[in-house]
Amino acid sequence: MSKNIAIIGAGITGLSSAYFIKKQHPECSVTIYESSNRAGGKIQTYRKDGYTIELGPESYLGRKQIMTDIAIDIGLGDELVTNQTGQSYIYAKNKLYPIPGGSILGIPTDIKPFLKTKLISPLGKLRAGKDLFKPSIEIENDISVGKFFRERLGDEILENLIEPLMGGIYGTNIDDLSLMSTFPEFKQREEEFGSLIKGMRYEKEQRQKQRQLYPGSPKGQFKQFRHGLNSFIENLTDYVTKQGVEIKYNTPISEIRKKQKSYELINDDSNIYRHDGLLITTPHETFTKWFEKDPAFNYFKSMDSTSVATVVLAFDQHNIENIYDGTGFVIARTSNTDITACTWTTKKWPFTTPDGKVLIRAYIGKPGDTVVQDHTDEEIVSIVRKDLSQMMKFKGDPDFSIVNRLPKSMPQYKVGHIDKIKSIQAHVRETYPRLRITGASFEAVGLPDCIRQGKDAVDELIDELEL
């Protein structure tokens, strides 16, 4: 007999999970419950007067193939776009410095550009060189990203190069951020080569070889769609709906009940929906309430998420002067700014902006601060403009600006995170048959990672439902 599965949340994790269920079992009935009036969750593209503006995530890492594979399958193969490459910068010590060529997330692999950069002092460079002779760092299960790189390469490189590049991805203080949950490959390479620099040099050579297999392919690492990330969501929604998936919008689930052979979902209007299997893909702040009585979920109560906002400024090109030729910059936390990064979107993604205009996108909000909560949109725009005026010159007002608040949107993966997650997942498997929970609060936050986690959860669920 065909089974019916509920998915809670129509973000990228929930939607792609529905896609995978239908691919394997078209006969299976699937309903997605979504609290808001739209699909996509954090993904939100704003289209206006020739602009294509991302208000949440901006793009995805192209080498994580799973998202591209789905895109092609749902008819978006011709819409794929790769970012324009160009110089990226780091704002530190009140100045923009080019990121030294050849570095991988701040770890030097080429000696020449590293020796030439003024971002790191001669002493800092000397200290980084110690990495070549240092034995592997012994760790029990995990170590913070900060501690690992401070020990290998020194404080100066960590604070001025690595932290601005890595910290922003996870919205977590670098000295709390779990290495093994975020960048375990660095530890692997360090152990393999006895040096991080040597390991990363090898990594770079591998990537170069890979590129040589596809001569003429674009150099950029990131992918997008000609009409924005939302076209992925729109096409995926169309695809799954045509396969019979029902999406119930404006249906916030407030409680779930485990029955002998099914799960009951209760929404705010006290409607009860009964399903054989259940997949939860909401942020942990939501689902933790449904497992209030289960101490195994206590970890999620202490797991914080950082609130950020993306701030978009659209200028007429005559109203802005940018002497830097590049795609954007990240900011060292030692700098005195509220923004953490800025993309010169017009340069990185030319399709996003009409001729004669300039689009800039900044991120504001750091772990532990309340700048996003404490200010109105107008105040946030003015803070962002003040910060940006240290790096570029405004000659007039923007044509328009948008502030998109994303409260508690970046789950903080602190030291020990992945072990806790593994044990919670094992507990869920044992205690809640035919139920899985996944999404950005679990193993990784990137869009293709969310898709991959959705696929893994679906595979397990299908197995258990004996489909």
Ligand X SMILES: Cc1cc2nc3c(=O)[nH]c(=O)nc-3n(C[C@H](O)[C@H](O)[C@H](O)COP(=O)(O)OP(=O)(O)OC[C@H]3O[C@@H](n4cnc5c(N)ncnc54)[C@H](O)[C@@H]3O)c2cc1C
Residues found near ligand X in the complex (CB under 6 A): 8-14, 33-36, 41-43, 56-60, 252-253, 281-283, 286, 308, 310, 406, 409-410, 439-440, 445-447, 450
For 167, residues 6+ apart whose C-beta sits below 8 A from its C-beta are 145, 173, 174, 177, 333, 340
Identify whether the C-beta of residue 83 lies closer than 8 Å to the C-beta of residue 221. Answer: yes
Q: Is 193 exposed, middle or buried (0-12, 13-18, 19+ CB in 10 A)?
A: middle
Residue with tokens 């005559």: 318
For 369, residues 6+ apart whose C-beta sits below 8 A from its C-beta are 338
Quote the least distance from Cβ 175 to ligand X, whole Å: 21
Around 154, how many Cα atoms within 13 Å sit in the side-chain half-sphere? 18
Identify whether the C-beta of residue 288 lies closer than 8 Å to the C-beta of residue 305. Answer: no
Smaller CB distance to ligand X: residue 45 or 117? 45
Quote the least distance from Cβ 398 to ligand X, whole Å: 20
Quote the least distance from Cβ 190 to ligand X, whole Å: 25
Helical spans, DSSP H, in 316-416: 345-348, 371-374, 377-388
Quote the least distance from Cβ 354 to ligand X, whole Å: 23
User: What does the block give as tokens for 444?
Assistant: 């990784």
Identify whether the C-beta of residue 21 lies closer than 8 Å to the C-beta of residue 5. Answer: yes
Q: Which residues of 226-235 are buried (b: 16+ CB within 10 A; e: fewer)?
A: ebbbbbbbbb
Quote the least distance from Cβ 379 to ligand X, whole Å: 19
Smaller CB distance to ligand X: residue 160 or 282? 282
Smaller CB distance to ligand X: residue 30 or 128? 30
Smaller CB distance to ligand X: residue 236 or 308? 308
**Strands 305-316 vs 80-82: parallel, antiparallel or unpaired:** unpaired
Amino acid at 287: F
Smaller CB distance to ligand X: residue 99 or 236? 236
Smaller CB distance to ligand X: residue 60 or 273? 60
Quote the least distance from Cβ 212 to ligand X, whole Å: 26
Quote the least distance from Cβ 347 to ligand X, whole Å: 16
Residue 29 CA to residue 235 CA, distance in Å, equals: 20
Quote the least distance from Cβ 33 to ligand X, whole Å: 5
Smaller CB distance to ligand X: residue 53 or 157? 53
Quote the least distance from Cβ 113 to ligand X, whole Å: 26
Smaller CB distance to ligand X: residue 320 or 360? 360
Smaller CB distance to ligand X: residue 92 or 312? 312
Residue 379 CA to residue 235 CA, distance in Å, equals: 36
**Strands 29-33 vs 246-248: parallel, antiparallel or unpaired:** parallel
For residue 161, CA distances in Å to 43, 74, 334, 438 come to 28, 39, 11, 32
